[in-house]
Structure 1
Amino acid sequence: MVSQTSQFYRYLDYPAGREERVKELLKLLKEKNIELVSFISKGYRGVVFKGIYKEKTVAVKVSRSDVQKENFLKREYEILKYLSDKLKEENPAPTPFLHNSEFIVMEFIEGKTFKFAMNNFNPYFVIKETLKSCYLLDEVFIKHSEIKGEKHLIFDGKKCRIIDFESAKFSRSPRNLLQFIGYHLIKNEEFLKKLKVRKEDLQKTIELYKKDRKLGFKFILSLC
């Protein structure tokens, strides 16, 4: 590992940047045989690093120093574990490997954003896989809460992966697919034109989806 005083490691205790706290976290990571490789991003609750764990490339999410850490880390791990167990190989979320009160270690998802994929790959395949991933979350009653965010939808070349479940929760009526359609299709004339889909037709299938999820999903797929 590089010097513990580097800016790279100070992100471990963002935004406080306390040296003693950084050393403490580095010690915990070392005990779990986790090596940090690079800093990825910082969010409202957590800071994400790319790392190596058991010869796998992983994402390591550490809580920010200005949030209550244990509750959101535990909740996110439980949701990721539930999705992994429930959806198996169809799971669009990262597979979790371990967690404690300080961090979560999970699969590192590599790929392109939904917008990039729509503009550079087969748009019909990209949209089908993205709709399917959102529908799968609805089917197992997980509300992602931030599907409208561009950075949360990653196309890995085979399917759409969905990341960042720190705001996710169990819900009796999740609307991940409807939120995706509303923000990424209905409001995007360019994509509608590319898919040769009329906004009015999509809105009709949305109403059907609200009444009958399986039938509505079938019709939305046929449209796109």
Structure 2
Amino acid sequence: MLFISIGIAIAVVAAILLIAIPLFFRVVVSTNEVHIVQSARKTLSYGKDTGNGNTYYEFPSWFPLIGVTKIVLPVSVFSIQIEGYEAYDLGRLPFVVDITAFFRVNDSNLAAQRVRDFTDLHTQLEDIVQGSIRSILSSRNLEDILQVRSELGDDFTKSVKEQLKNWGIEPVKNIELMDIRDSKVSQVIANIMNKKISEIEKESRIKVANNKKEAQNG
């Protein structure tokens, strides 16, 4: 009888463990994330609108056959802000720009193939945006950049859109040129603005003088 009782107790404990252990590894994906889970046999995305539900079991990767690894990416819109980026115009005149870009993950499985985690994705997107900024701004004169700065966002966005497809990412709206200013060692923009002010003042003085002359002749 004792052996039977011990056997029943062991069976009960084993049954409890078989139920409890999987629950310990059960993951529920939040509504603003997607988890890309890689097992020995396949890769699946879990979360809202993935078609695979929002729960899975995250057994450690060292578990034979059932072990998995995962990458967590956002499903909501996220931003990348590049501040104080040192750029040059066509004539190698230096200046500094602030850029804001908004993206979303369009293909989570593709994105997971290209990056280790969201931090890695963020870094790679920064590099892509910076490359676009550098290429476009260096093809224009600074005076032109100052005049058409509102149009540059469309140029930035078009230049990165095709590249982003390779990362499973898409821009949500045009990349914005938030600010353009002189660097700490340059007064190029200040000189351009002073020149513009001087030209406006000169035109104003000429116009006033012409008006007075016409009034006297009249």
Higher relative contact order (CA 8 A, sep 6+): 2
Report the TM range for the smaller structure's normalisation: under 0.3
What TM-score, normalized by structure 1, do the two folds share? Answer: 0.22
What TM-score, normalized by structure 2, do the two folds share? Answer: 0.23
Task: Pick the structure with greater CA Rg.
Answer: 2
